[in-house]
Structure 1
Amino acid sequence: MERDFIYTALDFPTWKETEKFLEVNEFHGIPVKVGMELFYREGPAVIEKLKRRNHSIFLDLKLHDIPTTVKRAMRNLSELGVDIVNVHALGGSQMIQAANEGLANGSYPTRLIAVTILTSMDKEVLNNELLIPGDIIENAVYFAKFSQNNGADGVVCSVHEAKQIKENCGKDFLTVTPGIRLADSESNDQKRISTPKFATENGSDILVIGRSITQAENPRLAYEKALRECNI
């Protein structure tokens, strides 16, 4: 369960800092999320290094481009052998389908998930800046169902939408939830956040935890606390 449930976000600028973090805290083989900051600096080599250390990997690049470009990009990413990759649901049906087609070229069973609404956004941003009417949950459920109908294995959403997404898309549809904070952590730039305990009770399949662990005084203890809160 531990290997599949909590992914620690390696939001570091270089492999040197990432490796030090993993070694000092004895995070051998834990599931990890690699985002734009680290991947754009280190490239595919960072994935190869993590795979040699037996880490499950969520490659969080949030692709959002024309279908042909996304298909070609996913074809390249399919060779890396990561466990999860993602696109933006706002990219549309053809883009999600193209992403799936690109991944199908690889031999590794990488799961494709789509970002519904970023956890840094709230209703005011959605309605007034993006001019998307309706509330957050309504839109997240719509994008989840839309993504599922076009071949996605799951979505990135906040824990506050996970239960409703499960009810509409089924128990096997993956819900990956960032914005997880331990009870004594700050929210930082996330708006729709929650604790690990609430996330497990509200339908989250995978929790992504970053600063509550990586910036903790004792990251190892923070990680173990998150596991306890999830009853793992």
Structure 2
Amino acid sequence: MTAAMESLNGLPAEDPRALHAEFAVEQVVHLGRQSVVALRLEPSVRQGPAAHPVPARSFARLSDEEVEAIDRAAVAFAADLPESGGLPLILPQSFRSMAGRKGRNALALAVGGAEAARKRLIVELLDIDRGTPAGRLTEVAGLINAVARGVLVRLPPARTSGPPPREARLQGLTLDGDDLPADDSEAASALLEFVESIRGLPGLRIAQGLPDEGYLAVAEVAGFTHAGLRGQAARAQAA
């Protein structure tokens, strides 16, 4: 990233409000079969000339325009990714963007048309929390399911989140490694607590963005069906 690069929100790079994003392509592994079953994007957003990180759990403090700019960058990045052996692509998007028709229509642009989107794209909603109305989530998930292969919801750790409604027809739930404690034993406990908090809900349970391979076995014992490691592929810049 260079100082001269235009920011996502159109501000000069030296402006403390300027946003920049880059995306890592990660592999999602089926823990039972130990095989790669999907690819996913992970946004890394930074703000201001000092490049302070803005984790996905903090997107709620950004404006609608800023969140939409990040989502557009993710769609544009996905559009440039070559198809990889028919693997589905998990695309992170804001609930705010996906609640609007414009955001959902943009999905087809990422993979070359509506039919391709329904076959390949799985949308991962990033900003769902206890304050998200259950009925609205169910409605938006249904609208996304009409234009994509499926819908995942990224939840914060169990202590700060609640399970989404069954009626939402989600393909699964995800927990991100960046939300785990740094201590290994505390992280393992957080993985166990997360699975316990969603016990009984159908669908995939994905522990993504884990810091190293040692966590894969922990995630499987905890009850996750899938997992992925952070930073397996080189990050690519998006302006």
TM-score normalised per structure 1: 0.52
Amino acid at match of 2:136: R
How far is 1:179 from its partner? 0.9
Higher helix share: 1
Other-structure match for 2:60: none
SS at match of 1:165: helix
Report whether the alignment pairs 1:174 with 2:225: yes
Please give the alpha-carbon distance, in whole angstroms, between the structure 1 residues aligned to 2:200 and 2:75: 41
Other-structure match for 2:125: 61
Other-structure match for 2:89: 32
Decide whether aligned partners of structure 1 residues 79 and 38 sit closer, same or farther in structure 2, where only a CA change above 3 A counts: closer
- Write out aligned runs for 1:141-180 (5 A): 141-151=192-202, 153-157=204-208, 158=210, 159-169=213-223, 173-180=224-231
Identity %: 9
SS at match of 1:9: strand
Maintained 8 Å contact 1:114/1:147: no
Q: Deviations over 1:162-181 (max 9, x none)?
A: 32232242xxx522325141
Please give the alpha-carbon distance, in whole angstroms, between the structure 1 residues aligned to 2:189 and 2:86: 37
Q: Deviations over 1:90-129 (max 9, x none)?
A: 467994142x2222xxxxxx412132x53365426x9xxx
Report whether the alignment pairs 1:73 with 2:117: no
Amino acid at match of 2:144: L
Structure 2: gaps spanning 5 or more residues: 1-28, 30-34, 44-70
Which of 163, 177, 183 is equivalent to 1:118?
177
Decide whether aligned partners of structure 1 residues 29 and 46 sit closer, same or farther in structure 2, where only a CA change above 3 A counts: farther
SS at match of 1:64: coil
Please give the alpha-carbon distance, in whole angstroms, between the structure 1 residues aligned to 2:95 and 2:85: 19
Report whether the alignment pairs 1:7 with 2:39: yes
How far is 1:87 from its partner? 3.4
How far is 1:4 from its partner? 6.3
Please give the alpha-carbon distance, in whole angstroms, between the structure 1 residues aligned to 2:194 and 2:153: 14
Maintained 8 Å contact 1:10/1:18: no
Please give the alpha-carbon distance, in whole angstroms, between the structure 1 residues aligned to 2:227 and 2:135: 22
Please give the alpha-carbon distance, in whole angstroms, between the structure 2 residues aligned to 1:17 and 1:140: 32
Amino acid at match of 1:52: E
Amino acid at match of 1:87: R
Amino acid at match of 1:31: P
Structure 1: gaps spanning 5 or more residues: 104-109, 127-133, 186-210, 216-232
Maintained 8 Å contact 1:144/1:155: no
SS at match of 1:113: strand
Decide whether aligned partners of structure 1 residues 142 and 56 sit closer, same or farther in structure 2, where only a CA change above 3 A counts: same
Other-structure match for 1:87: 154
Maintained 8 Å contact 1:35/1:60: yes
Decide whether aligned partners of structure 1 residues 144 and 136 sit closer, same or farther in structure 2, where only a CA change above 3 A counts: same
Equivalences, count: 165
Decide whether aligned partners of structure 1 residues 21 and 35 sit closer, same or farther in structure 2, where only a CA change above 3 A counts: same
